[in-house]
A and B are shown apart, each in its own frame.
Chain A
Amino acid sequence: MNVRSAASRGLQRCNVCDLVSESPPGTARCSCARCGHPLFLRKPKSLQRTTALLIAASVLYLPANLLPILHTRTATFEADSTIMSGVVSLWSSGSWPLALLVFFASIFVPLLKLIVLSGLVLSVHLRWQRRANERAVLFRLVEFVGRWSMLDIFVVALLTALVQIRGLATITPGPAALAFAAVVILTMYAAQAFDPRLIWDRTSGAGIEDRSRAGQP
């Protein structure tokens, strides 16, 4: 397939309003004539920023899953629950569709994002030629489902707000809530920092000559 990228033809697309304009010669910075957003051939320092955000997120992934996210105290017992034990208790109380939902949103999706984005960054670094199409689809999937991981944080917020009956039952958030929220936000930023066009730059040879201008190593 003979494919020439817009970058190799000296064209660049505004990331906000989609206006295609000619890129200026050299390293001159310019902004979109229509909406004023800064223009660049590829997102600046995309790989570095994605990698840094991914490392931060994976460091926080462990405390997010191992530390308690909820602390329940009633007249008779006191218990900490992690994300996983929350899923298990939903499952055992018979509401398995919701248990599956929480499992996907809170455990599966964050892990999927970390693995897929790291794989994508690695594949661009190693200049893989194969399966560019599948990698692009994978990236769009990760970008789309990422925000749904915030679900658990909202559940914790609501439970905390509702169950504050003094002496009878109180629910308070645990330290994992902070770590988990950070994981979700950092991985969302990581997905935004990654430029999927880099996947294609390495496959056809098109656009590689623009790498220095796009701020890639």
Chain B
Amino acid sequence: MPQYVKAYAPSRSAQCWCCGAVVHRAADRAPEDTLALVVAAAICFVLGNVFPVVAIEANGTAAASTLIGAAHALYANGMALVATAVLLMTVFLPAIELVCLGALLLSRRRWSLLQGTLLRVRQHLLPWSMVEIFVLGSVVAIVKLGDFAHISLGIGMCALAAFMILSASAKLAFAHTDFWAREPRA
């Protein structure tokens, strides 16, 4: 339903007075600051993908797994479809989403069609990028294995946890409504 949104303070949001859904949310950071968060998140994401997430040691044998390794293990055990889903949700879609956000923050006013496309892609991907759920999942896996093996957290796990926090704050700092207001179309 149409309604007027009054002047808003940063990091405040407006809710629909009928159903309570958030109608408008203001960005709480300048685009340059958000871009810094995106760059930091991208570095952590690369580290999180290169280095092993969890390592175990039992009876003298050691094993470690990276994010991609986890997807590959599913593939190797005949679960190609699930492996593809895991790979998409933890590696590709978060990466594309982050690139879209960075490109949106860098883009200038004349590229509005490109911006629209980037925004559409990002909006569609958002629910499917699940790094934070993967981090929680690895905590569960660690606890499950804790009884019969020595578990250590990898560099990748720390990087992914940092990515989780950085990308969440970048997501909050970016509000596309402000973005359009800042750069109006002629």
Q: Are B58 and A168 in contact (CB under 8 A)?
A: yes
Contact of A150 among B72, B74, B133, B145 (CB under 8 A): B133
- B9 in contact (CB, < 8 A): no
- Of the stretches A43-51, A115-123, A169-177, the one at the interface is A169-177
Cα–Cα, bound, A19→B20 (Å): 19
Q: Please indicate the chain B residues that have their CB under 8 angstroms from the CB of A178 in the complex.
A: 79, 81-82
| A182, closest chain B residue (CB) | B81
Select the residue from A9, A132, A157 with max chain B CB neighbours within 10 A: A157
Q: Are A181 and B1 in contact (CB under 8 A)?
A: no
- B167 in contact (CB, < 8 A): no
Q: Please indicate the chain B residues that have their CB under 8 angstroms from the CB of A37 in the complex.
A: 116, 120
Cα–Cα, bound, A35→B128 (Å): 21
Knowing A19-B180, A37-B116 touch, does A136 contact B59 (C-beta < 8 A)?
Answer: no
Scan residues 114-173 of chain B and give those whose CB is less than 8 A from a CB of chain A: 115-117, 119-120, 123, 127-128, 130, 133-134, 136-141, 143-145, 147-149
- A58 in contact (CB, < 8 A): no
Give the total of B residues in contact with A, Cβ under 8 Å. Answer: 60
**Contact flags (1/0) for A9-36 with B, using CB distance below 8 Å?**
1010000111110000000000011111
Cα–Cα, bound, A89→B112 (Å): 54
- Which B residues contact A (CB, under 8 angstroms)? 1-2, 18-21, 24, 53-54, 56, 58-59, 61, 63-65, 69-74, 77, 79, 81-83, 85-86, 89-90, 112-113, 115-117, 119-120, 123, 127-128, 130, 133-134, 136-141, 143-145, 147-149, 176-177, 180, 185
A-B contact pairs, 7 of them (CB 8 A): A32-B116, A148-B133, A151-B137, A154-B86, A157-B71, A158-B138, A168-B61
Known: A154-B138, A157-B86. 7 other contacts (CB 8 A): A3-B18, A17-B119, A36-B120, A153-B137, A173-B74, A181-B82, A181-B85
